[in-house]
A = this chain, B = another copy of it.
Amino acid sequence: MTVGRKRGFDENVALDAAMNVFWQKGYLGASLSHLTAAMGINKPSMYSTFGNKQALFVKATSHYVESHMAKHLKILSAPSLSLRDKLMQYMQSVIAMQTEQSQGRGCYLVLCQSEIVSDEIPSEAVSVLEQYDVEAKAIFLSLFESDPESIEKGLDKNAQIHALTIYTVLKGAASMARAGVPCAQLNGVIDNTLTGIGL
């Protein structure tokens, strides 16, 4: 065992609490008082464990992606589903998660990415946000470029546009979810969107 007093809190529980604060308030709106209160610790504990606000944000952002976004991805590679069902179930799953809270919160990433232009966000926080944005776009692009059914239907010819359509609707749905629009209504938007792509 390492020498010294034992940590009186679970690092992952605290990180999850911090993630929820950033999710609700964004980077700028989440003060250290808000964060540490939600995490159930005081500032020195936060600083010694996570570094500083931007380092906490970087960890909280990765934690969001791993705990709330990654699990939906396996739907996109389910071999038994048609391309339409892959995309539909993926989008429905993501949006259901974003409308879960009675006071919907939408998407952590969409919220915080919108703060980048303000020029008030530290560079490491900007980096991680931009990195996930690039990755998300790449996932849809490679799906339309490589999926056999996509190629068969000729959707790979306009893979870029179709990928951007999915991504745009997801971002829009995140805004709508944050504004309190219920999941059921957004499912109709998904249906329209997939029809427009040709699925």
Q: Which residues of A contact B (CB under 8 A)?
A: 24-26, 28-29, 103-106, 110-111, 113-120, 133, 158, 160-162, 164-165, 167-176, 178-179, 181, 185-186, 188-189, 191-198
Contacts and interface: CB of A to CB of B under 8 A. Distances in A.
A137 B196 CA distance: 21
A160 B178 CA distance: 19
Given A189-B161, A192-B197, A197-B192, A175 B178 contact: no
Q: Give the oligomeric copy count.
A: 2
Contacts of A117: 24-25, 103-106, 178
Chief secondary structure at chain A's binding surface: helix
Given A28-B28, A193-B165, A160 B185 contact: yes
A196 B193 CA distance: 6
